[in-house]
Amino acid sequence: MKKMYGVILLLVLAMVVAACSSSDDDGKSADAGSKKGDGGKNQVEIFSWWTGAGEEDGLLALIDKFQEENPDLKVKNAAVAGGAGTNAKAVLATRMQGNDPPSTFQVHGGEELNKSWVAADKMEPLDDLYKENDWMDKFPKDLIDLVSNDGKIYSVPVDIHRGNVIFYNKKVFEENGIDVPKTFDEFVTAADKLKKAGVTPLAMGDKESWTATMIFENVLLAELGPDDYIKLFKGDIAFDDKRVVESAKKFGKLLDYINDDHASRNWQDSAQLVANGDAAMLNMGDWAKGYFVNDLKLKTNKDFGYFAFPGTEGNFSIITDTFGLPKGIDNPDEVKKFLTFLGSTEAQDIFNPLKGSIPARVDADESKYDEYGKDTMADFKEASLVPSLAHGSAASEGFLTKANQAVNIFVTQKDVDTLIQSLKNAAPEM
Ligand code: BGC
């Protein structure tokens, strides 16, 4: 890795404040103060949003292995459906607020971990666990930085996903004589050709608006470059900067190429359009690769190919799923057993080939990964890393919520001025 970002933004615990009802994902009443870590000594409750196709295969395989190795412990899979944590984050906020934390929960490295839960003093530091397991040189330093705050480490990364990838249907490209586009203009030329041939150029499923935010953040990355992209979310570049305005225009142009029924599809539904050849391309985190390969049984580099979002080659939009130890739970030792397992090469090499991601550890077994995995591991080492906005690493949850709303409105209205003004208005929340 050449560079790493250190995006330090203000804490906005909007979701914590906003979500203060008192029921958990099971609909049970969260009895403040009495129930911590759910299930007492022998149960480890794992909270995530990995449910359904393309999401839960890796989690279930992890749980199976952990159970096999720890038959005395019971694992409760407390996953809440909804891509990118759309619903899970609100349920989690309610539980944390009600003093009813899960034993451990999925949280993105970066702002989502540090400026929400760590800053609110809800997490135990895990420096001892890292030392006991000899992990300090087993995870990239940049990744450890991402899950650290004020010199203490707060979670264990299980994966590294990439967000600035476009997956494409190889047959559709071949049949229509399309070359992989490297620039925005090449993308537009290819998309026009596909549209003329009756193929939807770009699949989008923004039933949950984060999928559109991903496209926008990648256009921003292409326009600004990695350093200024980071500065934008630090508040050092204004949202009415002409390159941001240009990004909004280009984002609007890309929306000319999406499927008409985008608003009724989720990310898996949009991926299906590419899998079955109704659409040519999909910009999605590489959990889509896990979905293509493990659920839809497509072959990497045969049925589908991949390339960096035009204009972002050499950059890596990083999304890392991590798990930590909430304060005040009844069974920290059992949870630490799970976290120790999660940080092992064994667990990472079970999980990541199924999830589509690369392992967070540097010493995982490369032979377990397909060509996409190997390429991504190589890119990760060389690329400039930038935090994803849509996945909680670049800015606070408060800003992200407003950015998602603004993008959602833009998708139907395509009004550049309104988008820019909404982002400017939301900027203080960063
Ligand atoms: C998570 C991924 C997950 C994706 C879709 C992202 O925020 O980091 O693990 O697959 O959302 O739900």
Please spell the DSSP secondary structure of 176-238, one letter per residue: TTPPPP-SHHHHHHHHHHHHHTT-EEEE--TTSTHHHHHHHHHHHHHHHHHHHHHHHHHTSS-
Instruction: Check pLDDT > 80 for residue 69.
Output: yes
Check residue 270 and give its pLDDT.
98
- Rounded to the nearest angstrom, the distance between the alpha carbon of 266 and the centre of ligand 1 is 12
CB-CB contact of 91 with 18 (8 Å): no
Protein residues whose CB sits closer than 6 Å to any atom of ligand 1: 49, 55, 83-85, 161, 285, 287, 319, 321, 391
Check residue 3 and give its pLDDT.
44
Check residue 39 and give its pLDDT.
53
Average of pLDDT values for 381-388?
96
Q: Which residues contact 199 (CB under 8 A, 6 or more apart)?
A: 172, 176, 277, 278, 279, 280
Q: Distance of CA 383 to CAs 136, 297, 315, Å?
A: 22, 29, 5
Dihedral over Cα of 86, 290, 295, 43: its sign: negative
Q: What backbone torsions phi and psi does residue 311 show, to the nearest 5 degrees?
A: 90, 0
Check residue 208 and give its pLDDT.
97
Check residue 399 and give its pLDDT.
96
- Rounded to the nearest angstrom, the distance between the alpha carbon of 54 and the centre of ligand 1 is 10
pTM of the model: 0.91
Average of pLDDT values for 305-322?
98
Q: What is the mean pLDDT of the chain?
A: 92
Q: Which two tokens stand for residue 110?
A: 């970066």
29-43, 44-58, 292-306, 361-375, range with the lowest pLDDT: 29-43
What letter does residue 112 receive in the DSSP assignment?
I
Q: Atom 2, ligand 1: which residue's CA is nearest?
A: 84
Mutate to test the pocket of ligand 1, among 111, 155, 289, 319 (most ligand atoms within 8 A of CB): 319
Indicate the pLDDT class of residue 52, thresholds 50, 70 and 90.
confident
Q: Which two tokens stand for residue 226?
A: 């990695």
Alpha-carbon dihedral angle through residues 308, 313, 315, 316, given to the nearest 10 degrees? 20
Q: Distance of CA 366 to CAs 85, 246, 285, Å?
A: 29, 40, 20
- Rounded to the nearest angstrom, the distance between the alpha carbon of 158 and the centre of ligand 1 is 12
Mutate to test the pocket of ligand 1, among 46, 47, 48, 49 (most ligand atoms within 8 A of CB): 49
Q: Which two tokens stand for residue 301?
A: 């580099």
Quote the distance between the C-alpha of residue 125 and its chain's center: 23
Q: Which two tokens stand for residue 60?
A: 């279930």
Check residue 17 and give its pLDDT.
34
- Closest ligand 1 atom to Cα of 82: 12
pLDDT tens digits for range 236-274: 999 999 999 999 999 999 999 999 999 999 999 999 999
Average of pLDDT values for 1-7?
42
Indicate the pLDDT class of residue 57, thresholds 50, 70 and 90.
very high
Q: Atom 11, ligand 1: which residue's CA is nearest?
A: 84
Check residue 27 and give its pLDDT.
32
Domains in the chain, CATH or no CATH each: 2-159+322-381 (3.40.190.10), 162-317+392-429 (3.40.190.10)
pLDDT above 70: percentage of residues in the chain: 91
Check residue 26 and give its pLDDT.
35
Neighbours of 381 (CB within 10 A): 11
Mutate to test the pocket of ligand 1, among 47, 48, 51, 55 (most ligand atoms within 8 A of CB): 55
Check residue 415 and give its pLDDT.
98
Dihedral over Cα of 203, 205, 210, 213: its sign: positive
Check residue 42 and give its pLDDT.
87
Instruction: Check pLDDT > 90 for residue 12.
Output: no
CB-CB contact of 290 with 231 (8 Å): no
Q: What backbone torsions phi and psi does residue 29 show, to the nearest 5 degrees?
A: -75, 135
Indicate the pLDDT class of residue 36, thresholds 50, 70 and 90.
low
